[in-house]
């Protein structure tokens, strides 16, 4: 059994608990999925996402290594900026989907799903060894707690307790500051489809930070929400979880994340696994289609891709097939697309841009 730093807090709040596919004891919900989801949509909610994997890549070749392992352009990041990407193998099939954060050219952090944290760690180390790079990777997942604060009132809640100016923290950016006397890092990321943030604090500060956020959010009606509610929120927005809705038998085109591939940023693992569009069947290997010319022309780092940029036809709601563990619980990260507008959005951990 694996526990996050906030496990006892969930018990104290009377959460209905379950065991994830990776053995974590997590809250499914506290009151009801309906109440919690409605509260995130209309007000603000908070959840424990400490089970996510966090891998630090450091060294002179840290950036070159990351650039090679992901299909997006890590070289375009500035300090304090993040991006979404997938990692692929040499056959073009997805190994994991990740958030990459840049602290400096010699320090990047890769946020992985809890399900594939160990596998991705081995994958990164393998390529460090094979390419004899001046870099090293460290699993720091247990060093920090991660608390998600999501909803239209999330900025209002957090602004009252942190010295970080959240009005200036842009989408896919992060900054360091404090919750009172508690050191923290806040990233403008989320998986609810609303304005939201992920707050990183040292493990020993997890309970104090949780209580501080809860107290600050009381006037705005903050409620904790569980993983079942998170699942409902992401399904409502059409976000997919890698590991269930998409697996290592799929390539980025099948999972609607091809919009994040940067063919113009040099070599990356899986780049050569391409043949003309339409020749690939599910489960076949080495057959990425080439990117459409219109897609090449539209690409801008970290920006929406506009109408018709890779999503389903307008007005068609695409819902990926459910692939779940024995308890019916998903685990992983996801990419997203706007199925109503028919556009692929650059918000894999989607939220409203406010």
Residue 322 sits in a domain whose CATH number is 3.30.1360.120
pLDDT digits (tens, 9 = 90+) for 300-338: 333 222 222 222 222 222 333 333 343 444 443 333 332
Rounded (5°) CA angle 91-96-100: 115
**So what's the pLDDT on residue 241?**
77
**So what's the pLDDT on residue 85?**
87
Backbone angles phi, psi at 141, to 5 degrees: -55, -35
Predicted structure pTM score: 0.78
Q: What's the whole-number average pLDDT of the chain?
A: 79
Report, as an integer, the average pLDDT of 221-249: 86
Query: Who has greater pLDDT, 22 or 60?
Result: 60
For residue 125, the tally of other CB atoms under 10 A from its CB is 14
Question: Where are the extended beta strands (E) located within 119-276?
Answer: 136-139, 144-150, 174-179, 182-187, 196-202, 223-224
Total domains, the chain: 1
Report, as an integer, the average pLDDT of 76-103: 90
Six-digit token string for 32: 């009801």
Backbone angles phi, psi at 99, to 5 degrees: -105, 130
354-to-151, 153, 171 alpha-carbon distances in Å: 11, 11, 9
Six-digit token string for 111: 């946020």
Choose among 314, 332, 312: nearest CA to 322: 332
Q: What percent of the chain has pLDDT over 90?
A: 58
Q: For residues 210 and 148, is the Cβ–Cβ distance under 8 A?
A: no
DSSP-assigned letter for residue 164: S
Q: For residues 210 and 147, is the Cβ–Cβ distance under 8 A?
A: yes
Residue 289 contacts by C-beta under 8 Å, 6 or more apart in sequence?
253, 274, 275, 276, 277, 278, 279, 280
Residue 224: give the domain boundaries: 1-354
Residue 205 contacts by C-beta under 8 Å, 6 or more apart in sequence?
145, 182, 183
DSSP-assigned letter for residue 242: B
- Helical ranges in the chain per DSSP H: 7-12, 33-42, 62-69, 117-131, 154-159, 206-216, 227-237, 293-298
């Amino acid at each position: 059994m694996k526990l996050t730093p906030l496990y006892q807090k969930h018990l104290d709040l009377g959460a209905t608990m379950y065991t994830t596919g990776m053995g974590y004891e997590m809250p499914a919900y506290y009151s009801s999925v309906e109440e919690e989801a409605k509260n995130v949509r209309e007000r603000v909610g908070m959840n424990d996402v400490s089970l996510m994997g966090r891998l630090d890549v450091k060294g002179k070749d840290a950036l070159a290594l990351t650039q090679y392992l992901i299909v997006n352009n890590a070289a375009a990041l500035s300090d304090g900026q993040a991006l979404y990407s997938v990692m692929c193998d040499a056959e073009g099939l997805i190994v994991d989907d990740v958030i990459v954060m840049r602290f400096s050219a010699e320090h990047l952090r890769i946020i992985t799903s809890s399900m594939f944290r160990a596998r991705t760690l081995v994958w990164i180390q393998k390529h460090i060894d094979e390419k004899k790079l001046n870099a090293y990777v460290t699993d720091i997942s247990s060093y920090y707690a991660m608390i998600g604060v999501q909803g239209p009132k999330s900025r209002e809640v957090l602004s009252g307790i942190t010295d970080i100016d959240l009005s200036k923290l842009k989408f896919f950016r992060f900054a360091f500051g404090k919750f009172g006397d508690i050191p923290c890092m806040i990233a403008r990321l989320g998986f609810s489809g609303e304005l939201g943030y992920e707050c990183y604090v040292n493990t020993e500060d997890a309970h104090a930070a949780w209580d501080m956020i809860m107290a600050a959010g009381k006037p705005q009606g903050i409620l904790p929400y569980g993983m079942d509610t998170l699942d409902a929120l992401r399904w409502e927005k059409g976000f997919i979880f890698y590991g269930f809705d998409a697996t290592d038998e799929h390539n980025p085109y099948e999972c609607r994340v091809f919009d994040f591939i940067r063919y113009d940023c040099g070599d990356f693992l899986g780049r050569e696994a391409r043949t003309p569009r339409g020749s690939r069947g599910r489960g076949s290997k080495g057959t990425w289609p080439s990117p459409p010319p219109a897609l090449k022309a539209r690409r801008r780092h970290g920006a929406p891709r506009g109408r018709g940029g890779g999503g389903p036809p307008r007005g068609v709601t695409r819902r990926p097939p459910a692939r779940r563990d024995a308890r019916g619980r998903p685990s992983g990260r996801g990419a997203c697309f706007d199925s109503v507008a028919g556009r692929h959005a650059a918000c894999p951990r989607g939220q409203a841009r406010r």
